[in-house]
Chain A
Amino acid sequence: MVNKKLIRELLSESDCSHNKTKKSSCDKPKPGATSGGCAFEGAQISLFPFADVIHLVHSPATCIGASWETRQTLTSHKGENNTVMGYTTDVNTNDIIFGGDKKLEVSIDYIVEHKNPKGIFVYETCVTAMIGDDMDNVCGRMEKKHGIPIIVIHSPGFVGGKNLGSRLGGESVLHQLIGTREPQQIHPFGINLIGEYNVTGDMWQYTPLLEKIGIKVISTLAGDGRIENIQMAHTAKLNVIVCAKSLISLTRKMQEQYQIPYISISFYGKRDTSNAIRSIVNAFGDEALTARAEALIAEEEAKLEEILIPYRKILEGKKAILNTGGNKTWSIASALQDIGVDVVATSVQKATLEDKEICAQYVKILITDPGTQQAQLIDEHKIDILLAGGRSLYTAIKKKVAFVDVNQEKKVSYGAYSGLVNLAIDVANAVNNKVFKVVGNPEPWGNN
């Protein structure tokens, strides 16, 4: 059953900075004026990266039919990679009338018999919540029958947006998995990476660095994740929230329940990556660890500067405007500055209060109305590059400035030190691309 009390509580998370001034953070979506995914999508984002469990979506065709194999959440799992698979009970008219419980049950039997997974995550969606399938009951019985964890995630889309769904996913993991397995020994510098989904392998850009200085990643939620590791997450000494804020409820509850403190960091760009490593080691307060971290940072930064030299030649002094949302409003700005780009302005229209404050530390002009300001600023400051979502492409073409779509699904990682090189390559290629000079040429006919 969907738990109303839990949803209310998740929507007014006390550790969210904006909730100190506002009554409810996450308003109900407005009919006819809503974009963005539903709670199921949020749960999918936060939990699908577990590659060694099967994700069974109890739903009709749209939920998973339109969304499976769409995210580049990479895994090193050697067995069958379940992050890119779409399992659905494909609920039909009969199931609506007579109930889908039975179908769910035989589907779980089928999965265990044919795939033998380490666990199954079962997702509740709008229709199956509406027809009242007792999924907790079915999955409880099946868990006993098959002897593997079968976790229900109550994530029908109508309860709210993506952010809430991620939180609901986190709750299921907290209550049904974390603390159910004990490690052989407890690592003194063990951390959990929370809200890192390893999109395009972002996580792999920095986890080797952390390991090099003696930090152990106990578990991840859920990039390159394994169910056995998340079961031992309670033995970590520190929770590290990477960029995404949605799982802050989980880390707060883990602090209350297991006394694990948490920090929130970003691995975008050189300075943020170095700061992130420092924040982690500072949390442990171990001198030798801190010394190892400083040595590593110095070494990595020097190595990076060397590689960036040719790109700096192209990018040094180039002026840019950034128009994106959330933490990207400052994380990409800082990364761009790290490769020599002069970030003249960044749009904070879709940023939280906290993000705005951070933006102000990096960039002088904060755009509040990109629709009108963007084009003006391009002229005023003789901008070279516009980094924005697809809608701004038309502005770029009209103004004949280079354009980088920062909201498009990226194919390579921009994370940490090595990812910054990828960003430099992409921006440098855009600056030099002739397309932005010719594509908007006037038609050769008519009065032109």
Chain B
Amino acid sequence: MPLTIKYLKLLGIPNLGGIIKMEAISKKPLQLNPIKLSQPMGAMLCFLGIKNCMPLMHGAQGCASFSKVFFTRHFNDPIAVQTTAVNDITAVIDGGDYAISESIKNITQKVKPDLVGLFTTGLTETKGDDIKGASKLVEDIQQMVYVNTPDFEGSIESGFSKSIEAIIQQLVLPSTETDTNKALIIPNVNLKPIEVEKIKDTISLFGYEVFSLPDLSESLDGHLGLKQGALTSGGISVEDIKKLATSSLVFTIGKSVEKCGEKILEKNPNIKLFHFDSLGGLEQSDKFFKILCKVKNISQPHPSIVRWRKRHQDALLDTLFVIGSTSVVIALEPDQAISVANTIIEAGAHIKAIVTTHRNDLLDEIPCDNLLIGDFEDVESFLHESDLVISNFHAERLAIKHKKALLVRGYPDFESLGNQLKNDILYEGSSYLLFELANLINHHKLGVENEH
């Protein structure tokens, strides 16, 4: 809770009508149509951004199967994953060693992964398996990273960031040297493949060779390969990961991955680390470029960046009439909710409610009428007084029912093709987002008018 709110509360001063608000947790004992996705799913996505990797989910076969189908439908691409297939016998008598060694044996019989990303589920955390020990047992035949990600705590964001931390701790070699031309970005789970690529490309305009950990822009960007392999088709290579501590510059993007920055500093204290809560909208983008210019000691970035800033200014002015008269409900993971909200508030959007999956202090600073940790039943309760909802595929039924416009963002998006190529960040992507939103609202209004 921000201090201001705490003091106001102590002094008995009432909440100032939406300007300062407090986050509430839905009082239901259960989740009715959850927005939340699980921690192991975040871990899986992280390992899918590493080249020639096999994510290995330590649990019953269903966890991996559900998640595989989920991401296959979202990305419209094959998804690599395997399961330790814990059964009723190994659930009781095995401490994890057997299921994990067997898995590695069976995987390496068919393919030669550069890395196996081992992560747990609720089942194997409840029985308390020692995955570190089990990984050590197989380290002679297979390079491993292990991470604890029970699905009874956290969410997709924390599963993703915990895995990044584990990769840094277990793979990155310590160093004291830095390569002045080498930069690393650590994206949060909500950044789409094309957004990761855009950030990399943008930083490379400042003369850097840029890596991303993980790098979904080279694996789940929707590209036609030569064949469908059993492992991840692209991403950052294990060799490159090992040498990441020589990066001179590291950017973490999103609250959920802020701690990953500390982990990389432990590998090399000479790294210059910068954290950004989001890269959505004019002000956040300005901060980003200001720092890049300062670090490089230049007065002006590449002309295309200068041009895109002007275009974004124009986009804000072009869309302000439409977006400025729109009341929006956002139901997304915290980091994405913050990014999207920042971007559209700059064009005047009124945020009726943010319904999210777990606590994130930054949300307190966003001007909105209601802030809630909840589910889609809660989303529905706010829809009556709003025009548009920004959420995942599951909001579609609600939007149709209540005749509201829908902008699909977040996981899952089972319907829109090419969602991995939607860019919502920095000057360019933020402009696209504003235009898409404004056009959507206009089309929706037209549709509703024609119904009468």
Which residues of A line the B interface, CB within 8 A?
A: 2, 4, 7, 28-41, 56, 59-70, 84-93, 95-96, 103, 106-107, 109-111, 126-127, 130-131, 156-161, 390-391, 393-394, 397, 409, 439
Residue of A at shortest CB range from B126?
Answer: A130
Q: Which 5 A-B pairs have the closest CB atoms?
A: A38-B62, A32-B103, A157-B60, A32-B106, A61-B38
Do residues B61 and A32 form an inter-chain contact, with CB atoms below 8 A? no
For residue B65, which residues in chain A have a CB less than 8 angstroms away from its CB?
35-38, 41
Residue B14 is within 8 A (CB to CB) of chain A in the complex: no
Do residues B30 and A88 form an inter-chain contact, with CB atoms below 8 A? yes
Residue of A at shortest CB range from B228?
Answer: A391
Do residues B104 and A2 form an inter-chain contact, with CB atoms below 8 A? no
Do residues B228 and A86 form an inter-chain contact, with CB atoms below 8 A? no
Considering the complex, which residues of chain B in the window 25-57 have a beta carbon less than 8 Å from any beta carbon of chain A? 28-34, 36-41, 56
Q: Which of A40, A60, A89, A107 interacts with B151 by CB under 8 Å?
A: A60
Residue of A at shortest CB range from B86?
Answer: A158
Residue B245 is within 8 A (CB to CB) of chain A in the complex: no
For residue A66, which residues in chain B have a CB less than 8 angstroms away from its CB?
37-38, 41, 66-67, 69-70
Q: Which of B76-84, B321-329, B360-368 contacts A (4 or more CB under 8 A)?
A: B76-84
For residue B34, which residues in chain A have a CB less than 8 angstroms away from its CB?
61, 64-65, 68, 86, 88, 90
Q: Which of A35, A130, A394 interacts with B228 by CB under 8 Å?
A: A394
Residue B105 is within 8 A (CB to CB) of chain A in the complex: yes
For residue A69, which residues in chain B have a CB less than 8 angstroms away from its CB?
33, 393-394, 397
Considering the complex, which residues of chain B in the window 98-123 have a beta carbon less than 8 Å from any beta carbon of chain A? 98-100, 102-107, 110, 121-123
Do residues A68 and B122 form an inter-chain contact, with CB atoms below 8 A? no
Do residues B122 and A62 form an inter-chain contact, with CB atoms below 8 A? yes
Give the shortest distance, in Å, between B95 (CB) and chain A (any CB).
14
Given contacts A7-B88, A38-B62, 17 further A-B contacts (CB under 8 A): A29-B61, A31-B98, A32-B103, A35-B68, A39-B62, A41-B66, A59-B122, A60-B151, A63-B62, A64-B34, A66-B38, A86-B32, A88-B30, A96-B126, A110-B28, A126-B126, A158-B90
Q: Which of B78, B88, B89, B397 interacts with A84 by CB under 8 Å?
A: B397
Q: List 18 A-B contacts (CB under 8 A).
A: A4-B88, A31-B106, A32-B84, A33-B103, A36-B61, A41-B62, A62-B38, A62-B151, A63-B66, A67-B70, A69-B394, A86-B34, A87-B31, A109-B29, A110-B30, A126-B59, A127-B122, A157-B62
* Separation of A397 and B228 alpha carbons in the complex (Å): 12
Contact with A along B215-239 (1 / 0, CB 8 A): 0000000001011100000000000
Do residues B228 and A103 form an inter-chain contact, with CB atoms below 8 A? no
Do residues B36 and A31 form an inter-chain contact, with CB atoms below 8 A? no
Do residues A31 and B83 form an inter-chain contact, with CB atoms below 8 A? yes
For residue A36, which residues in chain B have a CB less than 8 angstroms away from its CB?
61, 65
In the complex, the number of residue pairs spanning A and B with C-beta atoms less than 8 Å apart equals: 208
Do residues A127 and B91 form an inter-chain contact, with CB atoms below 8 A? no
Do residues B56 and A32 form an inter-chain contact, with CB atoms below 8 A? yes
For residue A41, which residues in chain B have a CB less than 8 angstroms away from its CB?
62, 65-66
Q: Which of A33, A40, A84, A111 interacts with B82 by CB under 8 Å?
A: A33
Residue of A at shortest CB range from B66?
Answer: A66
Q: Which of A4, A40, A93, A161 interacts with B152 by CB under 8 Å?
A: A93
Residue of B at shortest CB range from A103?
Answer: B29
Residue B150 is within 8 A (CB to CB) of chain A in the complex: yes
Which residues of B line the A interface, CB within 8 A?
A: 28-34, 36-41, 56, 59-70, 73, 78, 82-91, 98-100, 102-107, 110, 121-123, 126-127, 150-153, 155, 224, 226-228, 393-394, 397, 414
Do residues A106 and B126 form an inter-chain contact, with CB atoms below 8 A? no
Give the shortest distance, in Å, between A63 (CB) and chain B (any CB).
7
Do residues A110 and B102 form an inter-chain contact, with CB atoms below 8 A? no
Q: Which of A28, A61, A390 interacts with B87 by CB under 8 Å?
A: A28
* Separation of A110 and B107 alpha carbons in the complex (Å): 45
For residue A67, which residues in chain B have a CB less than 8 angstroms away from its CB?
66, 69-70
Give the shortest distance, in Å, between A261 (CB) and chain B (any CB).
34
* Separation of A144 and B110 alpha carbons in the complex (Å): 54
For residue A60, which residues in chain B have a CB less than 8 angstroms away from its CB?
38, 122, 150-152
For residue B59, which residues in chain A have a CB less than 8 angstroms away from its CB?
126, 157
Q: Which of A87, A89, A106, A159 interacts with B88 by CB under 8 Å?
A: A159
For residue B68, which residues in chain A have a CB less than 8 angstroms away from its CB?
35
For residue A394, which residues in chain B have a CB less than 8 angstroms away from its CB?
226-228
Do residues A32 and B123 form an inter-chain contact, with CB atoms below 8 A? no
